[in-house]
Amino acid sequence: MVNVLYEIIQGIILFIPAFISNPGAVITGGKGKMDFGKNFIDGRRIFGDGKTISGFFGGSFIGILFGLIIFEIISMTKGLSVNYGSNIIEALVPITAMSFGSLTGDLIGSFIKRRIGMKSGSKGNLLDQWPFVLSATLFIFIFSRGFFFAAYPYLIPIIVILVLTPPLHRSINILAFKLHRKDVPW
């Protein structure tokens, strides 16, 4: 039981770059519409005004920065049995995959919301939360398979992350709303 709990905590800590990228996108967003204001073949916007180039890249780079900080802390303290890599260059691969994967998932969620007729900024419940987790996980699996199997040898940490994400995501969005960084608290 102790090992499972340890793997869950370790998995969550190592997933922080994916979690940080989303609020990072809110902080850095606002410049350059990700879909260039274009509509899809159904006549609706591809992503909507809330998805910007500056948010996508800015949020990803904030996730990468946090990942590198975590890498250094783990390296100095030997606090976890798994790190992102044996050196900073190697660590950049899973950290970058996770950060960009997270915001790619966010775009996928927005794309799906537009296709089913939901307006930009409307409450999408799990469409606002799970796509970024699933996409970040997929990106790690594709681009850093060794890290993926070392950090997540069982699916339990990923399942726990999926369960924890909705309340965590909601809390962060309420905070961003109160700080006037978001128009809606979801």
Tens-digit pLDDT profile for residues 113-134: 999 988 877 777 777 888 999 9
Tens-digit pLDDT profile for residues 39-80: 999 999 999 998 999 999 999 999 999 999 999 998 888 767
Does the residue 76 lie in any domain? yes
Does the residue 183 lie in any domain? no
Does the residue 119 lie in any domain? yes
Does the residue 185 lie in any domain? no
Mapped to the 3 state alphabet, what secondary structure does 102-170 carry?
HHHHHHHHHHHHHHCCCCCCCCCCHHHHHHHHHHHHHHHHHHCHHHHHHHCCCCHHHHHHHHHHHHHHH
Does the residue 75 lie in any domain? yes
Does the residue 106 lie in any domain? yes
Predicted confidence band at 2 (pLDDT cuts at 50, 70, 90)?
A: low
Does the residue 184 lie in any domain? no
Domain membership of residue 120 as a residue range:
2-178
pTM score over 0.85: yes
Does the residue 21 lie in any domain? yes
Q: How many domains does the chain have?
A: 1
